[in-house]
Amino acid sequence: MTTAKDLFIIAMDPSPEHAVGQGDLSLGLAAAELIDLLGTAVVTVDGDHIVPGGMSTPDDRLLEEAAAQLTRQPPYERIEDWLWRRGRDLSAAYQTALEEDGELTRKRSGRLPFGKERVEPVDTPARRRAADRWGEKDPVLAALASVVGLDGGRSDDDPGLEDEAVTTVVAAAHDAVMELEAVRQRRTIENAAFANLWRGP
Average pLDDT, the chain: 84
The strand ranges marked E within the chain are 43-46, 49-52, 104-108, 117-121
CB–CB of 83/173 below 8 Å? yes
Cα gap 18→153, rounded to integer Å: 12
Residues in the chain: 201
The strand ranges marked E within 12-159 are 43-46, 49-52, 104-108, 117-121
What is the per-residue pLDDT across 16-47, written as a single tens digit (0 to 9) for each? 555 678 889 999 999 999 999 999 889 999 99
26-30, 117-121, 162-166, 180-184 — which is least confidently predicted?
117-121
pTM of the model: 0.84
Instruction: Count Cβ atoms within 10 A of the Cβ of residue 110 and give its class: 0-12 exposed, 13-18 middle, 19 or more buried.
Output: exposed
* In the chain, % of residues over pLDDT 90: 53
| CA-angle at 86, arms to 47 and 105, nearest 5° | 130
Return the domain boundaries, the chain.
Answer: 3-199
- What pLDDT sits at residue 188? 72
CB–CB of 86/66 below 8 Å? yes
Cα-atom radius of gyration of the chain, to the nearest Å?
18
Alpha-carbon distances of 161 from 137, 138, 146, 149, rounded to whole Å: 12, 10, 13, 18
Cα atoms in the Cβ-side hemisphere of radius 13 Å centred on 111 = 0
